[in-house]
Structure 1
C-alpha cells in the first residue's frame, strides 16, 4: 500500500509564503534590531518567541538611537517597505527588471506617493523612512542624474539592496542563475561590491528555494555555486559551522564566529569599525550568510529559522527577513504562523498576501514572455547555424 504524499506548494503559495514570511520576520526582528543576543535576553527575560514590544518600552519615542521609530508591536520596517515597492515595479513593468527600472519606477515610488509607515504611525513618503543607503538611490539618480547602472558606486556597502531582492528570485522561480543576473543588474542602481553581490546571491537562493524538492542544503549549495569572493567564502564558513547543530539558540555563537572574519562592521554593531561598509573582494555582509545558516540549523522550519535570526541580534530584522523569505518559499504560505502574520498585518495596516498574489501573476507572464523569446532565438539561431 503506497503512502500518500503531500503535493509541493504551488507557485502562488511559494510566492505568498516568501513575501508574507519576509514581512513577519522583519516585524519580529525589528523589535530587537541592533542589540546583542545578551541584550535581548536581559530585556525580555529569555529568548524572543514571538511578537514583542519596543526595546525601550514606552520610551521609544525619545530613546536613542531608535527614536522616532516605533519598532516592535508587529510593525514592519523599511525591509518590507522596499520589498513591496519592488513588487509594485514588477506590477508596472510586467517583465524582467534592470537598473533603469529602478530609475524609472522605484525612485518615483519612493518620492511621490505617501504610504502608511507603521514605525511612524502616519502616512509619509517612503523616502522619509528608508535608511541612508536607500536615500542614496534618490540622491544619485533623481538629483544627480547618474547612470542607473553605476549609481550604487560609492554608497554604503551593506545589506540595503539584498534585503528587498526576494521578488527578483520569485519572478525567476526555479532559475537561480537568472535571478542572480537580474538582481545584480537591479542592485547596480543601489549598491556595489559585496553588497551588490549579496543581492544577487539572495535572489538566487530564493529562486532555488522555489524548486520542488528543494532543501536548505540545496538552496545553500546553489548560493555557494553562484557567489563570488568573500560572499562565497562567508557562506561556506557559516554553512560549515551550522553542520551538526540542531538548535538555533546554540547556533548563535558558532555562526557569529564563522562570519566574523568576513564582516566589516565589527563586534559592537552600533560602533562600526573604521573599515566598515567599504568595498572589498574579501568581505561579505553578515545578514545573508547568517540567514542561510539559521535555515540550515532549523532544517527549513519557518518558525525556528526566524526566531534564530531574531535572537541573533545585530541587524536581525534583515536576517529574519531573508530567512523568512527562504523558509516561506520552501514550504509555502501555510508554514508562516497565522497568529504572527495576522497580527503583523493588523498592526502594520498592510495586506501581506496581496503583493504575493500580484507577483505570482507577474511571474507567469514573465515566464510566458521568456518562452516566446527563447523560441524566437532558437529559430533565428537555427537559421544562422543551419541547424
Structure 2
C-alpha cells in the first residue's frame, strides 16, 4: 500500500504551464539545497525553544550568527554560521559535482578515492564560514575527514572505507547530484548513492544516502509531487530508515502547518534516532550501526515536504525551525522541493543573498550536473542497446 493510499492525499499543488526541464529541476535542486543549508546553519544544534528565544520567534529568512563572538564562542567556533553562509553540506555537494564533471559518467566508491579525496585535500577554495580561502579538508567535519584518513592514508578498499565511521547524515547530505544524474530513475539513484557512500558511511547512514538520492531522482520526474516522492522513498528504503520515514509520514498526514509540526515530527522520529533528546549531549548509543535505527534528518525533511505539499519556502522554514541538525534537514528538504518546483521555487532574495555572502555561483554546479546527466543518459542508452542485442542473440530460438 502506498503513502497516497494510506496516509496522505494525492495532490498536485503547483501545476506548471510548461513542463520543467532537466536544467530547471537541477537548478531548483542544487540552489534550493544551498539556500536551505545557509538558512539552517545559524541555528544548527539548538532546540526549537532556544531558536524562538534567541530570535524572538521563528526564523523566517537569513539571520546572523547565534553568537556575536562566533570566532571564539562554543560550541560553534571558529565558524561564521549565518549571514547567508553555506556550510559543509554545500561544500561537499559542490565537490561531488566536480567529480561528476571530471568523470562524466556514473560514480562509485573508487571515484571517491580517485577524485573526491584529492579535491578535498589539494585545492584551496573560498570557505564562507572561515571567511578565507582554505582547503575544504580544513572545514569539513571529522566524519568527512574520515574519508581522507581511510582512503589516502589508510589505503582501505574504497567499498569498505565507511565501516567504522560514526553513522550520521554525513554521506546523505551531499547526495543530491546523484539524484540529478539519475533524474527520473530513483532505483538507479539509490544503487549509485549506496556505492558512492560505501567509502564514507555504513549502516543507516549509507542507507539514507541512497534514499535521499532516490528522492531527488523521483522529484525530477514529470508530474512528481511530495506524495510520489515519499512513496518512492518508502518503496526503496530498508530497515529502520523505512520505518522512520513511514512513522514521520503518518504524523505529517494530519498536519498543514510546518511550524506546528516541529513537536509531532520529533516525537515520530525519536524512536529511530540514536542521538537522544539533547542534541549536544548524545546518548551512549549515538551514531552506532544498527538495522533498527535511522538518521533523523532525512525522515524529518520528507515530513516537512509532505506538510508543505512540496512547496519550497514552508518545507525549508519548517526544517530550519526544527532545530537540531537543521542545516542538513533544510538542505535535504530544499533539494527535493527545489527539484519538484524548479529554480523559480527558490525565493531569489534568498538565493542572491546566499550566493553573494558565500561568494559562490549557485547555478553553475546545477548547469554542470544537467550537462553531465544528459551525457550519462546517452551512454546508458547505448549500454542498454548493447545488452539488448546480446540478450536477444542469447535467447533466439535455435
TM-score range with shorter-chain normalisation? over 0.9
1:8: Cα distance to partner? 2.1
| CA shift digits 1:153-191 (9 cap, x unpaired) | 000100000000000001000000000000000000000
Of 236, 247, 252, which residue of structure 1 is paired with 2:246? 236
> Which residue of structure 2 lines up, in the alignment, with residue 27 of structure 1?
38
> Which residue of structure 1 lines up, in the alignment, with residue 64 of structure 2?
53
Unaligned 5+ runs, structure 2: 1-14
Q: Provide the secondary structure at the position in 1 that maps to 2:320.
A: helix
In 2, distance between residues paired with 1:228 and 1:197? 7
In 2, distance between residues paired with 1:386 and 1:70? 65
> Which residue of structure 2 lines up, in the alignment, with residue 336 of structure 1?
346
Of 142, 149, 163, which residue of structure 2 is paired with 1:153? 163
1:5: Cα distance to partner? 6.2
For the pair 1:209 / 2:252, whether they are aligned, the reply is: no
> Which residue of structure 2 lines up, in the alignment, with residue 227 of structure 1?
237
Of 40, 48, 53, which residue of structure 2 is paired with 1:37? 48
> Which residue of structure 1 lines up, in the alignment, with residue 9 of structure 2?
none
Q: Which runs of 4+ in 1 moved over 6 A?
A: none
1:72: Cα distance to partner? 0.3
Of 325, 329, 333, which residue of structure 2 is paired with 1:323? 333
In 1, distance between residues paired with 2:232 and 2:16? 26
Unaligned 5+ runs, structure 1: none
> Which residue of structure 2 lines up, in the alignment, with residue 280 of structure 1?
290
In 1, distance between residues paired with 2:222 and 2:17? 12
In 2, distance between residues paired with 1:208 and 1:135? 30
| CA shift digits 1:17-71 (9 cap, x unpaired) | 1000000000000010000000000000000000000011x21111101110000
Q: Provide the secondary structure at the position in 1 that maps to 2:133.
A: strand
In 2, distance between residues paired with 1:115 and 1:61? 20
User: TM-score, structure 2 length as denominator?
Assistant: 0.96
> Which residue of structure 1 lines up, in the alignment, with residue 256 of structure 2?
246
User: TM-score, structure 1 length as denominator?
Assistant: 0.98
> Which residue of structure 2 lines up, in the alignment, with residue 175 of structure 1?
185
In 1, distance between residues paired with 2:50 and 2:138? 29
In 2, distance between residues paired with 1:368 and 1:85? 24
For the pair 1:88 / 2:88, whether they are aligned, the reply is: no
Q: Provide the secondary structure at the position in 2 that maps to 1:61.
A: coil
How many residue pairs are counted as aligned between the two chains? 383
For the pair 1:193 / 2:226, whether they are aligned, the reply is: no
For the pair 1:378 / 2:375, whether they are aligned, the reply is: no
In 2, distance between residues paired with 1:317 and 1:353? 20
For the pair 1:260 / 2:270, whether they are aligned, the reply is: yes
In 1, distance between residues paired with 2:16 and 2:135? 47
In 2, distance between residues paired with 1:95 and 1:68? 37
| CA shift digits 1:135-164 (9 cap, x unpaired) | 000000000000000000000100000000
In 2, distance between residues paired with 1:61 and 1:174? 43
